[in-house]
């Protein structure tokens, strides 16, 4: 029997920050303000930042100028991993995929199916998923595969022979989004049961009133995401004014549960991240309307 001293230590917890609340973008932060918020979140313990390609007013666009400007300022001051979004309800394909033409991104979110979301139909067909996966692999951008419903796991076959096996191990379990699985311990456990062996997974709890379910995820061996895109709530009725406050609380939670906080360098090793090269995504042959 292995004693406590020789037992392998659990992996450090990856904290992702999603700093922009796209449902409330007036006023939208300037590039300098957003970069400052991201860098402060990195200093507090975030290893990954997730955000969308928008213009300076927060509207989705295929023009990466504003996004690239934020990333450039962040790169000058931190080594946080940049994850761009390829999602967006009702957003045209050329806008959703604009992030894969952006400079200096290392990861991109990849929603693994279709579902009701925020009162509308979000469509990602197997052809869409395959096209996005192929483009990410060509750009050496690691996909963060996002699962809002259990049926999404059937879409993993769409990435076979398109994304290198070493870069098919990053998953996000997305709970609490309007129209999808509610954020409960039972649903988290069920979604965890569908993960392949060895998966790196992150809980994304949309609309979280506190950090309770995030604590459950950490206790179960997962990683966590916080930030204004998901919730400003710190618990007990308190709200964060800056994203770094949420990251500070998340990092404290991780340490209270006896775990350590992962650095960007460690995450790059675990996620098989390499320096990305710009690549434009091919449009799938049978693209559904979105």
Q: What is the pLDDT of residues 81-133, one digit of tens each?
A: 999 999 888 888 999 899 999 989 999 999 999 999 998 999 999 999 999 99
Residue 165: pLDDT over 70: yes
- pLDDT, averaged across the chain: 91
pLDDT tens, residue by residue, 186-211 = 999 999 999 999 999 999 999 999 99
CA 229 to CA 208: how far, in whole Å?
Answer: 11
Query: Is residue 4 included in any domain, yes or no?
Result: no
CB contact at 8 A, 143 and 170: yes
User: Is position 93 within any domain?
Assistant: yes
Does residue 258 belong to any structural domain of this protein? yes
Instruction: Tell me whether residue 7 is in a domain.
Output: no
Q: What is the pLDDT of residue 285?
A: 46
Q: Which residue has the tokens 């595969």?
A: 145
Residue 279 inside a domain? The answer is: no
Report yes or no on 108 lying in a domain.
yes
Percent of the chain with pLDDT over 70: 92
pLDDT confidence of residue 5? 57
Q: In which domain, by residue range, is 120 found?
A: 15-270
**Is there a domain that residue 2 lies in?**
no
- Does 260 map to a domain? yes
CATH label of the domain that carries residue 66 = 3.20.20.70
Examine the pLDDT at 249 and tell me if it is beyond 90.
Answer: yes
- Dmax of the chain from CA atoms? 59
Task: Return the pLDDT at 277.
Answer: 42
* Contact partners, residue 235, CB within 8 Å, separation at least 6: 209, 210, 211, 249
Region 48-67 average pLDDT: 96
What's the number of domains the chain is made of? Answer: 1
End-to-end C-alpha distance for the chain, whole angstroms:
55
């Amino acid at each position: 029997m292995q004693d406590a001293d020789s037992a392998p230590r659990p992996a450090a917890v990856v904290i992702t920050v999603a700093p922009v609340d796209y449902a409330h973008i007036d006023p939208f932060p300037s590039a300098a303000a957003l970069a400052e918020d991201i860098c402060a979140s990195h200093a507090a313990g975030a290893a990954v930042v997730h955000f969308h390609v928008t213009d300076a007013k927060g509207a989705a666009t295929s023009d990466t100028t504003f996004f690239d400007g934020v990333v450039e300022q962040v790169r000058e001051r931190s080594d946080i991993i940049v994850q761009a979004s390829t999602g967006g309800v009702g957003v045209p394909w050329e806008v959703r995929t604009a992030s894969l033409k952006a400079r200096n991104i290392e990861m991109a979110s990849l929603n693994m199916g279709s579902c009701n979301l925020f009162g509308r139909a979000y469509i990602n067909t197997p052809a869409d998923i395959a096209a996005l996966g192929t483009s990410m692999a060509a750009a050496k951008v690691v996909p963060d595969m996002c699962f809002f419903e259990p049926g999404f796991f059937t879409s993993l076959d769409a990435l076979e022979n398109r994304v290198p096996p070493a870069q098919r191990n990053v998953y996000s379990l997305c709970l609490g989004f309007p129209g999808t699985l509610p954020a409960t311990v039972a649903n988290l456990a069920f979604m965890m049961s569908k993960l392949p062996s060895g998966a790196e997974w992150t809980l994304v709890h949309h609309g979280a009133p506190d950090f309770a379910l995030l604590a459950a995820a950490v206790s179960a061996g997962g990683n966590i995401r916080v930030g204004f895109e998901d919730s400003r709530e710190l618990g007990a009725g308190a709200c964060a004014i800056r994203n770094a406050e949420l990251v500070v609380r998340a990092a404290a939670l991780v340490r209270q549960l006896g775990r350590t906080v992962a650095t960007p360098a460690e995450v790059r090793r675990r996620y098989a991240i390499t320096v990305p090269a710009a690549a434009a995504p091919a449009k799938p042959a049978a693209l559904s309307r979105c």
